[in-house]
Amino acid sequence: MATRGLTEYESEHCFKPGFLQIIGGGHRAGIIPCSEKSVYWFLTWIASEENKNVDESIEKMKDYAIRNLKNANVSEETIELIKQSEMGNVVSTPLKYRSPFSLLFSKITEDNVCVAGDALHATTPEIGQGGCMALEDSVVLARCLSEALLGSKKGGDGEYERIQGALKKFAKERRWRSIKLIALSYFVGFIQQNADPFMSFIRERLLTRLIANIYINFPIYDCGKL
Protein backbone atom coordinates (compact mmCIF):
# COMPACT_ATOMS: atom_id res chain seq x y z
CA MET A 1 0.00 0.00 0.00
CA ALA A 2 1.13 3.58 -0.48
CA THR A 3 0.08 6.96 0.81
CA ARG A 4 1.39 10.37 -0.15
CA GLY A 5 1.02 14.05 0.56
CA LEU A 6 2.24 17.49 -0.36
CA THR A 7 3.15 20.23 2.13
CA GLU A 8 3.09 23.86 1.10
CA TYR A 9 5.09 26.16 3.38
CA GLU A 10 4.50 29.89 3.74
CA SER A 11 8.24 30.54 3.73
CA GLU A 12 11.26 28.48 2.63
CA HIS A 13 11.44 24.97 4.08
CA CYS A 14 14.59 23.43 5.54
CA PHE A 15 14.83 20.30 3.34
CA LYS A 16 17.83 19.91 1.07
CA PRO A 17 17.19 19.64 -2.69
CA GLY A 18 17.59 15.85 -2.78
CA PHE A 19 15.71 12.60 -2.33
CA LEU A 20 15.66 11.53 1.33
CA GLN A 21 14.73 7.88 1.77
CA ILE A 22 13.85 6.26 5.08
CA ILE A 23 13.79 2.48 4.92
CA GLY A 24 13.49 -0.53 7.21
CA GLY A 25 11.00 -2.07 9.63
CA GLY A 26 8.72 -3.14 6.77
CA HIS A 27 8.23 0.45 5.57
CA ARG A 28 9.63 2.81 3.00
CA ALA A 29 9.22 6.56 3.12
CA GLY A 30 10.56 9.28 0.90
CA ILE A 31 10.79 13.06 1.03
CA ILE A 32 11.38 15.10 -2.09
CA PRO A 33 11.30 18.92 -2.18
CA CYS A 34 9.41 20.12 -5.29
CA SER A 35 10.33 23.79 -4.85
CA GLU A 36 11.63 26.11 -2.12
CA LYS A 37 8.18 26.11 -0.53
CA SER A 38 6.70 22.71 -1.27
CA VAL A 39 7.71 19.19 -0.31
CA TYR A 40 6.30 15.85 -1.46
CA TRP A 41 6.39 12.74 0.76
CA PHE A 42 5.23 9.15 0.55
CA LEU A 43 5.07 6.05 2.72
CA THR A 44 4.61 2.46 1.62
CA TRP A 45 3.77 -0.49 3.87
CA ILE A 46 2.62 -4.08 3.69
CA ALA A 47 -1.08 -4.43 4.50
CA SER A 48 -1.77 -6.69 7.49
CA GLU A 49 -4.41 -7.26 10.20
CA GLU A 50 -2.47 -4.91 12.46
CA ASN A 51 -2.68 -1.89 10.14
CA LYS A 52 -5.84 -2.65 8.21
CA ASN A 53 -7.83 0.49 9.23
CA VAL A 54 -5.06 3.07 9.05
CA ASP A 55 -6.39 4.56 5.81
CA GLU A 56 -9.94 5.10 7.09
CA SER A 57 -9.33 8.84 7.37
CA ILE A 58 -6.60 11.38 6.68
CA GLU A 59 -6.03 11.80 10.43
CA LYS A 60 -5.53 8.07 10.99
CA MET A 61 -3.25 7.85 7.98
CA LYS A 62 -1.10 10.74 9.17
CA ASP A 63 -0.90 9.22 12.69
CA TYR A 64 0.26 5.93 11.20
CA ALA A 65 2.88 7.63 9.06
CA ILE A 66 4.11 9.71 12.01
CA ARG A 67 4.31 6.66 14.31
CA ASN A 68 6.42 4.78 11.79
CA LEU A 69 8.68 7.70 11.06
CA LYS A 70 9.21 8.33 14.78
CA ASN A 71 10.35 4.70 15.09
CA ALA A 72 12.92 5.46 12.41
CA ASN A 73 14.16 8.45 14.48
CA VAL A 74 13.50 11.09 11.82
CA SER A 75 13.89 14.79 12.54
CA GLU A 76 11.18 16.94 14.13
CA GLU A 77 10.91 18.82 10.79
CA THR A 78 9.92 15.58 9.06
CA ILE A 79 7.15 14.94 11.59
CA GLU A 80 5.91 18.53 11.12
CA LEU A 81 5.97 17.99 7.34
CA ILE A 82 3.50 15.11 7.65
CA LYS A 83 1.31 16.97 10.18
CA GLN A 84 0.96 20.01 7.93
CA SER A 85 0.57 18.18 4.64
CA GLU A 86 -2.38 18.27 2.31
CA MET A 87 -3.69 14.85 1.36
CA GLY A 88 -6.19 14.27 -1.41
CA ASN A 89 -9.41 12.27 -1.19
CA VAL A 90 -7.47 9.15 -2.12
CA VAL A 91 -5.85 8.48 1.25
CA SER A 92 -4.05 5.34 0.18
CA THR A 93 -3.61 3.22 -2.93
CA PRO A 94 -2.85 -0.47 -3.31
CA LEU A 95 0.36 -0.93 -5.27
CA LYS A 96 -0.12 -3.28 -8.21
CA TYR A 97 2.41 -5.93 -9.08
CA ARG A 98 2.71 -7.35 -12.53
CA SER A 99 5.16 -10.21 -12.69
CA PRO A 100 8.03 -9.58 -15.15
CA PHE A 101 7.55 -13.19 -16.32
CA SER A 102 3.93 -12.49 -17.23
CA LEU A 103 5.09 -9.58 -19.37
CA LEU A 104 7.66 -11.82 -21.01
CA PHE A 105 4.95 -13.96 -22.55
CA SER A 106 1.74 -11.89 -22.49
CA LYS A 107 0.41 -9.72 -25.29
CA ILE A 108 1.05 -5.98 -25.22
CA THR A 109 -0.94 -5.46 -28.39
CA GLU A 110 -3.83 -7.08 -30.16
CA ASP A 111 -5.29 -5.97 -33.51
CA ASN A 112 -5.10 -2.18 -33.47
CA VAL A 113 -5.05 -1.78 -29.66
CA CYS A 114 -2.06 -1.68 -27.31
CA VAL A 115 -1.32 -0.86 -23.69
CA ALA A 116 1.23 1.74 -22.59
CA GLY A 117 2.23 3.67 -19.45
CA ASP A 118 1.17 2.36 -16.03
CA ALA A 119 -1.15 -0.16 -17.70
CA LEU A 120 1.92 -1.77 -19.22
CA HIS A 121 4.48 -1.39 -16.43
CA ALA A 122 3.01 -0.43 -13.03
CA THR A 123 5.83 0.60 -10.69
CA THR A 124 6.46 1.76 -7.12
CA PRO A 125 6.56 5.44 -6.09
CA GLU A 126 10.16 5.72 -4.92
CA ILE A 127 11.72 4.88 -8.29
CA GLY A 128 10.24 8.04 -9.85
CA GLN A 129 10.05 6.40 -13.27
CA GLY A 130 6.33 5.80 -13.97
CA GLY A 131 5.82 9.14 -15.71
CA CYS A 132 9.22 9.01 -17.42
CA MET A 133 8.49 5.56 -18.82
CA ALA A 134 5.03 6.70 -19.98
CA LEU A 135 6.76 9.52 -21.88
CA GLU A 136 9.26 7.09 -23.43
CA ASP A 137 6.33 4.88 -24.48
CA SER A 138 4.61 7.83 -26.09
CA VAL A 139 7.71 8.80 -28.11
CA VAL A 140 8.20 5.24 -29.37
CA LEU A 141 4.49 4.75 -30.07
CA ALA A 142 4.21 8.02 -31.99
CA ARG A 143 7.33 7.16 -33.98
CA CYS A 144 6.08 3.67 -34.89
CA LEU A 145 2.65 5.00 -35.90
CA SER A 146 4.02 7.91 -37.89
CA GLU A 147 6.39 5.63 -39.82
CA ALA A 148 3.40 3.46 -40.69
CA LEU A 149 0.98 6.24 -41.55
CA LEU A 150 2.84 9.30 -42.82
CA GLY A 151 2.31 9.85 -46.49
CA SER A 152 -0.49 7.31 -46.72
CA LYS A 153 -4.12 8.25 -47.34
CA LYS A 154 -6.34 8.28 -44.21
CA GLY A 155 -8.45 5.12 -44.24
CA GLY A 156 -6.65 4.04 -47.42
CA ASP A 157 -5.72 0.50 -48.41
CA GLY A 158 -3.89 -1.50 -45.77
CA GLU A 159 -4.15 1.20 -43.08
CA TYR A 160 -5.49 -1.22 -40.49
CA GLU A 161 -2.65 -3.69 -41.15
CA ARG A 162 -0.06 -0.91 -41.05
CA ILE A 163 -1.36 0.17 -37.61
CA GLN A 164 -1.23 -3.44 -36.42
CA GLY A 165 2.36 -3.68 -37.65
CA ALA A 166 3.30 -0.38 -35.96
CA LEU A 167 1.87 -1.56 -32.62
CA LYS A 168 3.77 -4.83 -32.87
CA LYS A 169 6.96 -2.84 -33.45
CA PHE A 170 6.12 -0.68 -30.40
CA ALA A 171 5.56 -3.81 -28.28
CA LYS A 172 8.89 -5.26 -29.40
CA GLU A 173 10.76 -2.06 -28.57
CA ARG A 174 9.18 -1.57 -25.15
CA ARG A 175 8.88 -5.13 -23.82
CA TRP A 176 12.37 -5.50 -22.33
CA ARG A 177 12.51 -2.00 -20.93
CA SER A 178 9.14 -2.61 -19.20
CA ILE A 179 10.27 -5.97 -17.84
CA LYS A 180 13.40 -4.30 -16.43
CA LEU A 181 11.37 -1.60 -14.67
CA ILE A 182 8.95 -4.08 -13.09
CA ALA A 183 11.78 -6.37 -12.00
CA LEU A 184 13.63 -3.37 -10.56
CA SER A 185 10.59 -2.21 -8.54
CA TYR A 186 10.11 -5.71 -7.17
CA PHE A 187 13.80 -6.23 -6.33
CA VAL A 188 14.20 -2.83 -4.66
CA GLY A 189 10.86 -3.21 -2.81
CA PHE A 190 11.73 -6.68 -1.58
CA ILE A 191 15.07 -5.57 -0.22
CA GLN A 192 14.04 -2.25 1.22
CA GLN A 193 10.77 -3.29 2.79
CA ASN A 194 12.11 -6.50 4.30
CA ALA A 195 12.01 -6.41 8.12
CA ASP A 196 14.07 -9.60 8.54
CA PRO A 197 17.18 -8.77 10.66
CA PHE A 198 19.54 -10.70 8.35
CA MET A 199 18.18 -8.97 5.25
CA SER A 200 18.35 -5.59 7.04
CA PHE A 201 22.01 -6.28 7.82
CA ILE A 202 22.82 -7.20 4.20
CA ARG A 203 20.88 -4.17 2.94
CA GLU A 204 22.64 -1.72 5.20
CA ARG A 205 26.14 -3.17 4.71
CA LEU A 206 26.12 -4.19 1.07
CA LEU A 207 23.11 -3.24 -0.96
CA THR A 208 22.55 0.46 -0.32
CA ARG A 209 25.21 1.54 -2.81
CA LEU A 210 24.02 -0.99 -5.39
CA ILE A 211 20.43 0.26 -5.14
CA ALA A 212 21.55 3.89 -5.38
CA ASN A 213 23.48 3.02 -8.56
CA ILE A 214 20.44 1.29 -10.04
CA TYR A 215 18.31 4.38 -9.30
CA ILE A 216 20.80 6.62 -10.99
CA ASN A 217 21.41 4.41 -14.01
CA PHE A 218 17.89 3.34 -14.93
CA PRO A 219 16.80 6.72 -16.35
CA ILE A 220 19.93 6.98 -18.51
CA TYR A 221 18.27 5.62 -21.60
CA ASP A 222 17.81 6.91 -25.12
CA CYS A 223 14.40 6.08 -26.55
CA GLY A 224 15.28 7.75 -29.83
CA LYS A 225 13.75 10.72 -31.60
CA LEU A 226 10.14 11.34 -32.51
Ligand X SMILES: Cc1cc2nc3c(=O)[nH]c(=O)nc-3n(C[C@H](O)[C@H](O)[C@H](O)COP(=O)(O)OP(=O)(O)OC[C@H]3O[C@@H](n4cnc5c(N)ncnc54)[C@H](O)[C@@H]3O)c2cc1C
169 Cβ contact list (under 8 Å, min separation 6): 144, 147
The span from the CA of 183 to the CA of 14, in Å, is 35
Give the residue closest to ligand X by C-beta: 117
Q: Which stretch binds ligand X (CB under 6 A): 74-82, 101-109, 117-125, 143-151?
A: 117-125
Residue 130 binds to ligand X (criterion: CB under 6 A): yes
Among 95, 134, 149, 214, binds ligand X (CB under 6 A): 134
- Bridge partners for 5 per DSSP: 41
Among 1, 26, 97, 128, binds ligand X (CB under 6 A): 128
Residue 26 binds to ligand X (criterion: CB under 6 A): no
Q: Of 71 and 102, which CB lies nearer to ligand X in the complex structure? A: 102
CB of 213 within 8 A of CB of 188? no
Among 117, 165, 191, 207, binds ligand X (CB under 6 A): 117
Q: Which stretch binds ligand X (CB under 6 A): 72-80, 127-135, 139-147, 171-179?
A: 127-135
Residue 219 binds to ligand X (criterion: CB under 6 A): no
Among 3, 4, 98, 194, binds ligand X (CB under 6 A): 4
Residue 145 binds to ligand X (criterion: CB under 6 A): no
CB of 185 within 8 A of CB of 21? no
Q: Among 154, 171, 152, which Cα is nearest to 113's? A: 171
Distance, first Cα to last Cα, the chain: 36
What is the DSSP annotation of 204-223? IIIIHHHHHHHHHHTT----
User: Residues in the site for ligand X, rule: CB under 6 A?
Assistant: 4, 117-119, 128-132, 134
